[in-house]
Amino acid sequence: MFAHRAKIRLMLLFAFTLAVPPAPLQASAETPETTLHRAYFTENIARDYAVAKSLYDQAAESDLSDELRRVARVGSDRCRDHIAAADFSTLMPSDTLVFAELRRPGELIAALSGMLGMTPDSMRDLLDQRPDSASGAPINIPSRIAISPTLLEAVSAFGGAAVGLTDIDFSGRTPPHGVVVIHHGDVKLVKGLLETAFQFAPTAEKIADLPTFQTSAPDIGNVTGVLTEGLLIVGNDRGLVQDAADRLVGGVSDSLRAREDLKEVFAERGDRMFFAFGDLTGIYKLAKSQVHERDRDDLAVANTMLDLDHLRWATLSFGADRGALGMTARVCYADDHRSIVYNMLRLPAMSRESMRYVPADAAAVLGLGLNPALAHIAAGRAEDSTDVTGFDIPREIFGNIRELSAFVVPGPAGHTLDGRDPVPNAAVVIASNDVVRSRTLWNEMLRIPGLTLESGPVEPSEFELGGQKVTSYFIPELGKIYMTQVDDCLSIGLTRRAIAEVIEAKTKKRSVLDDESMGTAFARLPDSAGILMVGHVGRLAEVGGAMGEPEIAMISTPAARLCRNTTFWLGVGQSRTQLTLTGALTGLPNVNEAIAMFGPLIHGREDHATRRRAERAYEQKATARVERRRNEAVDVAPAEPDRPLK
């Protein structure tokens, strides 16, 4: 009753403040009541919890009535919990080994709804467009499907949860030690259930003057928990719960977030929904102390190959970021690591020079960095040198080629010699330290298949295409392939169209890096990426339609239209100390555009089904009428009486 009166009073204050002129809202003339109102507005509408908490604190220290000062203190605590839930790592101990958090998971659903074009400006306007006639169909397929903003707001209300583990028994005999924090956010039902159930929880000595319970759970042991205005903090170690509450209430700074050596970790986290962290240094030390004697040799071998002593941390994140659904995983070594496995597999970052000759309308690009740039490698090499040895092949792969970019473009496919199998418009662009050496080697390797034909050798031929010299080579069963040099790069294509696209990219100085869709993907890949793949789903559908059967072509046409903005990318970055895996998907197809495209087909089937149901119903009624008349029919002709024969 007390809280209800306070809420009514706040609503009256809100109405009063809107009615008065703006001048009284200035700081010099602001009253404690308007300060409290501004705090409430800032918390619930602007959602600036730091400012709202400051205003609530001002109101709580003013000469308001006891009732309203209590409302201000509760509001301040509520904002404090919102601020903590924005970064759960501020509540976790600094020696946390494993940390995982889920922040506002419902917001991912809302973001996904927007990406799919299912968030309307006005749900009422959409509902008013429903037909006012009976169709007879069991369900109505609307011309536009939308998710109510009210529903999205409701699912986005849950604040999130986090877990932090400080001790792990790798044998599994005892449960891990840790703390769990749950933020109900704005879900009043969850808050109400927690507050109601807390009455019946076993009592315990209070922690930070907060409602506290303690009980025993099977396979877990003693469980301690505290309930704040917006958080439930639970752990199987009372000390961990006590410390988390102290960080929340008292502002103690010895948290996981405050560690100097992890600043870069949390700086790169962003606003993604899910984030997990593992302290690999601490985990390895703990595992080494618990390992059985018989397994120590195996662990020593693994340490020799992977340098486990110098592992620092690993992270995993997932969520919506700048209009894309993305995932990133990272593993970090110390600067002085000597990991044999990682160093043997590590590739140099791509300079993306070869990408400058990949056409802007490419459907997919696969890039691979092989060797660092070595300016001196071409020194002393004659421009027209044709000397080639067998050892030039490994030197080409392991020393000369800096990077390569393979791509495929839409368009009519080529065909093999027998005309049966399609050939995609694909090519590879090779960036070398010594392009003359590469050209000489690949020229010799590509001409060999044509010289070994039983019907007689076929020599390579040269021609001009777009002002560029191109060499064609004959490959048995495949046909011709083409090679050309563009500046300091070499390109080899399966079709004439693919090579023409490379030359056009050079001439017009417009490549895939300048494309609106694909260029954005390349810009968001890490600079350390040595392996990368970027694809445009709509263009890939066009490629599939040109390569496949007519049935596939029928599917690929609408798919290409729906996914005309859909792009994905994958990247593997390998710096000296950090391995990064990243991937994302953006430009999802619009659901309502798909409905508009396939709606006539859907409604046509519905109309056919409705007609068939009506016909069957009519036939059943007609049959029933015939049967009924047959049963009710009487013979109107009287039977002749029996008469004696004369």
Please tell me the predicted confidence (pLDDT) of residue 103: 92
Please tell me the predicted confidence (pLDDT) of residue 465: 93
Domain shared by 316 and 391, yes or no: no
Is residue 411 scored above 70 in pLDDT? Answer: yes
Domain shared by 488 and 499, yes or no: yes
Please tell me the predicted confidence (pLDDT) of residue 21: 44
Please tell me the predicted confidence (pLDDT) of residue 12: 47
3-state DSSP of 431-443: EECCHHHHHHHHH
Domain shared by 279 and 365, yes or no: no
571 found inside a domain: yes
Please tell me the predicted confidence (pLDDT) of residue 386: 62
The arithmetic mean of pLDDT across residues 421-430, rounded, is 94
Domain shared by 67 and 96, yes or no: no
Please tell me the predicted confidence (pLDDT) of residue 376: 61
pLDDT single digits (tens) 94-112? 999 999 999 999 888 888 8
Is residue 2 scored above 50 in pLDDT? Answer: no
The arithmetic mean of pLDDT across residues 49-64, rounded, is 93
pLDDT single digits (tens) 496-510? 999 999 999 999 999
Burial degree of 418 (CB within 10 A; 0-12, 13-18, 19+): exposed
Which residue in 162, 153, 157, 154 sits closest to 274, CA to CA? 162
Please tell me the predicted confidence (pLDDT) of residue 603: 52
- pLDDT band with cut points at 50, 70 and 90 for residue 627: low
486 found inside a domain: yes
Q: H-type helices in 479-590, by residue range?
A: 496-508, 516-524, 537-547, 550-562
Please tell me the predicted confidence (pLDDT) of residue 156: 86
313 found inside a domain: yes
Which of 406 and 620 is assigned the larger pLDDT? Answer: 406
631 found inside a domain: no
Please tell me the predicted confidence (pLDDT) of residue 643: 43
Q: Is 629 helix (H, G, I), strand (E, B) or coil?
A: helix
Domain shared by 479 and 565, yes or no: yes
Is residue 473 scored above 80 in pLDDT? Answer: yes
Which of 636 and 316 is assigned the larger pLDDT? Answer: 316
Q: Domain range holding 70? A: 2-85
Domain shared by 78 and 170, yes or no: no
Please tell me the total number of residues recorded for the chain in this structure.
Answer: 646
Is residue 340 scored above 50 in pLDDT? Answer: yes
Please tell me the predicted confidence (pLDDT) of residue 557: 86
Rounded to the nearest integer, the mean pLDDT of the chain is: 85
The arithmetic mean of pLDDT across residues 527-539, rounded, is 94
Please tell me the predicted confidence (pLDDT) of residue 58: 93
Burial degree of 9 (CB within 10 A; 0-12, 13-18, 19+): middle
pLDDT single digits (tens) 284-296? 999 999 998 888 9
Domain shared by 309 and 367, yes or no: no
pTM of the model as a whole: 0.81
The least confident of 45-54, 286-295, 376-385 is 376-385
The arithmetic mean of pLDDT across residues 35-56, rounded, is 93
607 found inside a domain: no
Domain shared by 95 and 220, yes or no: yes
Domain shared by 53 and 201, yes or no: no
pLDDT single digits (tens) 396-407? 888 899 999 999
140 found inside a domain: no
| Residues sharing a CB contact under 8 Å with residue 265, sequence separation 6 or more, in sequence order | 277, 313, 315
Last residue of a domain, one of 70, 85, 100: 85
Which of 456 and 636 is assigned the larger pLDDT? Answer: 456
Domain shared by 78 and 212, yes or no: no
Please tell me the predicted confidence (pLDDT) of residue 24: 42
Domain shared by 68 and 205, yes or no: no
d(CA 612, CA 634): 35
Domain shared by 230 and 359, yes or no: no
59 found inside a domain: yes
Is residue 628 scored above 90 in pLDDT? Answer: no
Q: How many domains does the chain have?
A: 3
Per DSSP, the residues of 202-217 read PB---BTTB-EEEEEE
363 found inside a domain: yes
